[in-house]
Structure 1
Amino acid sequence: MSFQGEQHPGVETPPAETEGFRLNHTMLRIKDPRTSLAFYTRVFGMRVLRRLDFEEMQFSLYFLGRPETGETLPEDAGERTVWTFSQRGLLELTHNWGSEEKAGRLYHDGNAEPQGFGHICFSVPDLDATEAWFDANDVEFVKRSDQGKMKNVIFVKDVDGYWIEVVQADRLSALGDQASR
């Protein structure tokens, strides 16, 4: 029998009606698309897969991802929209038009009081090289890989102050409570 997920109080067997459900994207509100897009495309190597504008409501959505090498994306905008909403693990940046003209940070990062949303996470192939890359690109650190109680985990901030966890998967096998293995 294949692994069916850890069992904890409150966990229920997924109903058949949920077959095929998948997490598509996480949304962050951004102040200025120019600086946010520069950050995520330059520092994390993401690509804008689709931009959707909603003129009547005065906002734009930017869907970012990292297609696999050799993966072909649809050229047709409608087909690419359908493709975008069928993917896993995308980042949606929502820009409310005119927010870039306002002073200071506009959105709560979720880590200050009252706490709520915490962070997004990227897995990287080489944590040490990534940490050096962040230094070379003046990325703001919350925590470096050798700091704090959780070693081999980096936290940085994006241009809007949202926290980003960065991990190297093969360095995390001993993370957390090992009794639950």
Structure 2
Amino acid sequence: MRILHTMLRVGDLNRSIDFYTKVLGMALLRRQDYPEGRFTLAFVGYGAESEQAVIELTYNWDTSAYVLGAGFGHIALEVDDVYQACTQIRQLGGKIIREAGPMNAGTTIIAFVEDPDGYAIELIGCKG
């Protein structure tokens, strides 16, 4: 396993991309709209996602602001097999809060686990 990204919900995607790229010097690594889910994901970082953790900026089209602290989403971990990881986590007493399956409006296989304090940890399958 390895840390993939930390997700933050943002109220103005372009403003956030400008901040992370122009002010903090990160690069926009990828951006994708999900019209069926009414959201856009943008990933920013200092290097390739295959080599280091990045920040996922999630823009929900119908939300322009969040209460500070409510914008934190989750930490993401890459796993070889999401279904197998869920089985193993469950056997070790972990709590699965979203079963393994395709992401909303996409095809990537994901699941969510809850840590003891209630924080969400996303499991994302390796892309091979």
- Kindly indicate which of the two structures has a greater share of residues assigned to helix: 1
